[in-house]
Copies of this chain bind each other. A is one copy, B any other.
């Protein structure tokens, strides 16, 4: 069974990216994935600081999240765009996890990226940065991605994508992720 870990890079309760994460998680389940949808708000960490790391060690929340990443083969990441890059929350979370050097959590995982934004580009620019960050950690990032422009008006009352074409695109991306994860398994990079 292909285990997919899904989360948004925002902790804001009304976040459009968290809405999209729920849509993506549902799509990955429909595609046969065993999906764990988590909330980064449940893994609060201090801002990364080299001296804090030496004095207090890596936060237990980072270790817990790393364990979770390790126990899944696929990542479904819905990343808000803040100033054309990833959120400080997502960067901080990834940076802390990457400090666990004895058992790299990310290497060899497969990821699909999505983004929602109220603007016309749908978070496209932030995904460039996230893609580079994940690649550097050995994550295979699918070529296909999904961006949702004008996301304020994109969801219906049930939290689904109102536009069937967009819903179909998310479904196709999720299915691609499940398929590639199933084929690659734990083949480390």
Q: Residues of A at under 8 Å CB distance from B?
A: 10-15, 45, 47-51, 82-89, 91-92, 94-95, 98, 120-121, 124-125, 128-129, 131-144, 149, 176, 179-180, 183-185, 187, 189
Contacts and interface: CB of A to CB of B under 8 A. Distances in A.
Nearest to A93: B88
Taking the full assembly, how many copies of this chain does it contain?
Answer: 4
Contact of A135 (B121, B133, B143): B143
A51 B41 CA distance: 11
B92 A92 contact: yes
A138 B145 CA distance: 10
Nearest to A44: B47
A88 B91 contact: yes
A91 B133 CA distance: 14
A95 B88 CA distance: 8
A183 B179 contact: no
A136 B84 contact: yes
B184 A180 contact: yes
Contacts of A10: 50
Nearest to A121: B121
Contact of A47 (B92, B139, B144, B183): B92
A134 B141 CA distance: 13
